[in-house]
């Protein structure tokens, strides 16, 4: 059965997958990321938790060492009674990683060298938009 891709409108053969609507994984990922932003991000996650969980699971397996580093760092840091490393704000705190060490010793060293630090959501967005402040 030949159908058109939901994103690029290219014709492709559906094959044996009954729910296939994209010609490739690239089209599917681009379509999902575009619609994620259009649908309001967090609201979309709450409305379609099973799709969101699938995206998270794929991301985990692609970047397993980063996920492990994030979880270990989160266990080491307590966000209570802390403030932003850059602006000293104490609301909406997050952890920013410049590197992703995979052992507790490396994580502690990265924290002491200011390669992993606590920032507020506003500063975190600025860091990722500009590269560095």
Q: What is the pLDDT of residues 90-104, one digit of tens each?
A: 888 888 888 888 888
Residue with tokens 């996650």: 45
Q: What percent of the chain has pLDDT over 90?
A: 7
Q: Minimum mean pLDDT among 2-16, 18-32, 47-61, 118-132: which range?
A: 47-61
CA 96 to each of CA 34, 50, 53, 84, 125: distance values in angstroms, whole numbers, following the listed order? 24, 27, 23, 10, 10
Q: Could you give the CA distance from residue 123 to residue 133 in angstroms, rounded to a whole number?
A: 8
User: pTM for this structure?
Assistant: 0.53
Q: Could you give the CA distance from residue 55 to residue 123 in angstroms, rounded to a whole number?
A: 26
Determine the average pLDDT of the residues in 24-30: 81
Of 106, 54, 87, 59, which is closest to residue 97 (Cα–Cα)? 106
């Amino acid at each position: 059965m030949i159908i058109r891709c939901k994103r690029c409108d290219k014709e492709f053969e559906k094959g044996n997958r009954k729910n296939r609507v994209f010609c490739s994984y690239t089209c599917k990922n681009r379509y999902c990321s575009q619609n994620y932003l259009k649908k309001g991000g967090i609201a979309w996650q709450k409305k379609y938790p099973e799709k969101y969980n699938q995206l998270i699971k794929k991301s985990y397996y692609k970047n397993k060492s980063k996920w492990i580093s994030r979880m270990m760092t989160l266990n080491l840091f307590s966000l209570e009674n802390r403030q932003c490393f850059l602006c000293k704000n104490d609301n909406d705190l997050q952890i920013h990683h410049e590197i992703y060490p995979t052992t507790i010793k490396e994580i502690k060293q990265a924290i002491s060298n200011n390669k992993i630090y606590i920032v507020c959501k506003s500063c975190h967005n600025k860091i990722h938009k500009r590269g560095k402040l």
